[in-house]
Structure 1
Amino acid sequence: MADTKAQAAPAATNPAAATSKTPEKGIKGKKRGGKPRNYDLGSGVYRFSRSRMYHKKALYKFVGKKTPKQVKPAKPLTVEKTIGGEKNGEKRIVLLKKRQNYYPTADKIKSRPSKKLFSQHRRYIRKSLLPGTICIVLAGPHRGKRVVLLKSLKSGLLLITGPFKINACPLRRISQNYVIATSTRLDISGFKLPEHINDKYFKRTKQKRSKKEEGDIFSTKKEAYKPSEQRKKDQKEVDKQINEVIRKHPDKKHVFAYLSAMFGLRSSQYPHRMKF
């Protein structure tokens, strides 16, 4: 035991071992960023107040003192050079910055970011508006009626039908903003919509007025809309398929009555509290 203590004592007193652990003053280590005197203690409370820092920085010494403005000499644009020859004037004023040798005859065409047309915008349809959903129309001449949603068109509008024989609502387009989707849904997986029924199908044709037409140029003739024979034929074809789908429903009597009944609110009935 005595030998081990004797060996341990000189190891502790060895100056070389002690100095090897601590870095020398001459060796440059990594610089640590200094911590500011005034720092946030938490919740916006600082270590020193504004008046305390005013005296610590001795800002009172600089009150009223103004540093003189240093005027920088302007850089010369030209330089005067001597030229040989008796008839050359002996001197020329030359620009220090040479001008361009080539100037474009026309402005460059700038590429500007292009925007898509409104018809090419991406449409976002509500998740509840699926084909076959029975919806309630909120605006227009058929407001209050319950209709069947057939599909969502490329323009973002919804294609609906009454059917016409049940509630006199024909094939129409309507925005999803004016429709309430109910939880009742029909299985129209076997339904086939004619391919020509799209956004162009519902576009009204404007009749051109002849220039030689006599009478008041400001008078407008209101012509009542009359559906074409093609529209009537398509309506019958679509309604026939929808009626077959309703007849296959287990509660077909209730569905027919539900579609023929008008939607309305009575006193103490709030739509935002209802489940449709």
Structure 2
Amino acid sequence: MEVSKKKPAAGVPAAKEPAPTLASGKYTFSKSEALRRYLSRKQARSGKRVSKAKRDEQKKKPKFVEKPFNKGTRIVSLKKRPNNYPCKNHSKPRSKVPKKHGATKVRKSLQPGTILILLAGVHRGKRVVLLKALKSGLLLVTGPYKINRVPIRRVHQKFVIATSTRLNIESVKIPDTINDAYFRRIREKRAKKAEGDIFAKKKKTYKVSATRKADQITVDKQLLRAIRPHPDRKILLNYLKSRFGLSTGQYPHTLKF
């Protein structure tokens, strides 16, 4: 049986056919082909579409010309190509909006009063008391200096092992001046090279300021007062004095600190 197709009545515009699709909503044409068809329809509506006759004329125009060259001939392109080609810039454009970085997170185990083991630096292997975490995310620690010769210094949390031993340092008051700016060194500009004896001038070595010494004494006194009421005071003092090390057959991942 043949199904009769109804034609639209005179004066009534025919309904637009939907875009041909395959199963699961995939389109028949690729993105480039769909874009080409869309632009051609748009040009046809606006009247900017080039007629077929003009396109044929453009195609018929010769692209190459044969010219005489050294007793013979050569083929020359009518369209001149550029002498210089721009290099591809693969670098990504920088975003104008500055990135906002929040304060660095400190591990939960790193609470004030926790005894830490230093893993890097001059004092590696020594045990120190954590005073507080600074705004920069670095940890403020001290020996105390009177016990194991570790002064007030900053340490990154990467280079530290937190132990289960903790002191009650609520009574310890750290001066407000001890912050990140407190540890910055003022570097003098290099003087111009003067002619003369090379060994006449000696390099300036770092010297601890009087304010630092005073701050160290005040913090140490308060820490020692906090250690006194501890039931295992003698063991704790020896624990802070001793260095951490691994003997044969010991592995850090199996130890409980």
Bucket of the pairwise TM-score, normalised by the shorter protein: 0.5 to 0.7
Distance 1:221 1:263 in 2: 37
Which amino acid counterpart does residue 127 of structure 2 have in structure 1?
R
Residue 76, structure 1, aligned to residue 48, structure 2: yes
Match of 2:236 in 1: 255
Count of residue pairs brought into register by the alignment: 171
Distance 1:114 1:128 in 2: 32
Distance 1:157 1:221 in 2: 33
Residue 214, structure 1, aligned to residue 194, structure 2: yes
Displacement, 1:156?
A: 0.2
Match of 1:184 in 2: 165
CA distance 1:221–1:123, change in 2 (3 Å): farther
Residue number among 115, 126, 131 corresponding to 1:150 in the alignment: 131
Distance 1:151 1:215 in 2: 50
Pairing of 1:132-171 with structure 2 (within 5 A): 132-171=113-152
Identify unmatched segments of 5+ residues in structure 2: 1-22, 25-36, 51-94
Displacement, 1:221?
A: 6.2
Residue 234, structure 1, aligned to residue 218, structure 2: no
Distance 1:159 1:175 in 2: 9
TM-score with structure 1 length normalisation?
0.57
CA distance 1:267–1:194, change in 2 (3 Å): same
Displacement, 1:114?
A: 2.4
Deviations 1:176-223 (A, max 9, x none): 000000000000011100010000000111012344x5149xx99643
Which amino acid counterpart does residue 214 of structure 1 have in structure 2?
A
Q: State which structure, 1 or 2, has the greater radius of gyration over its C-alpha atoms.
A: 1
SS at match of 1:147: strand
Distance 1:272 1:251 in 2: 27
Displacement, 1:225?
A: 1.5
Deviations 1:230-249 (A, max 9, x none): 01010011101011111111
Residue number among 83, 86, 99 corresponding to 1:115 in the alignment: 99
Distance 1:155 1:263 in 2: 27
Which amino acid counterpart does residue 182 of structure 1 have in structure 2?
T
Distance 1:113 1:205 in 2: 32
Distance 1:269 1:215 in 2: 59
Distance 2:228 2:164 in 1: 19
SS at match of 2:211: helix
Identify unmatched segments of 5+ residues in structure 1: 1-37, 40-69, 79-110
Which amino acid counterpart does residue 257 of structure 1 have in structure 2?
N
CA distance 1:215–1:203, change in 2 (3 Å): farther
Distance 1:222 1:151 in 2: 35
Which amino acid counterpart does residue 115 of structure 1 have in structure 2?
K
Which amino acid counterpart does residue 145 of structure 2 have in structure 1?
F
Displacement, 1:141?
A: 0.2
Match of 2:154 in 1: 173
Residue number among 129, 132, 152 corresponding to 2:110 in the alignment: 129
SS at match of 1:160: strand
Between the aligned residues of both structures, percent identity stands at 55
Aligned CA RMSD, in angstroms, stands at 2.9
Deviations 1:14-35 (A, max 9, x none): xxxxxxxxxxxxxxxxxxxxxx
Distance 2:146 2:217 in 1: 9
SS at match of 1:272: helix
Distance 1:155 1:227 in 2: 23
Which amino acid counterpart does residue 194 of structure 2 have in structure 1?
E
Deviations 1:53-93 (A, max 9, x none): xxxxxxxxxxxxxxxxx9x6875389xxxxxxxxxxxxxxx
- Could you tell which deviates more after superposition, 194-203 or 219-228? 219-228
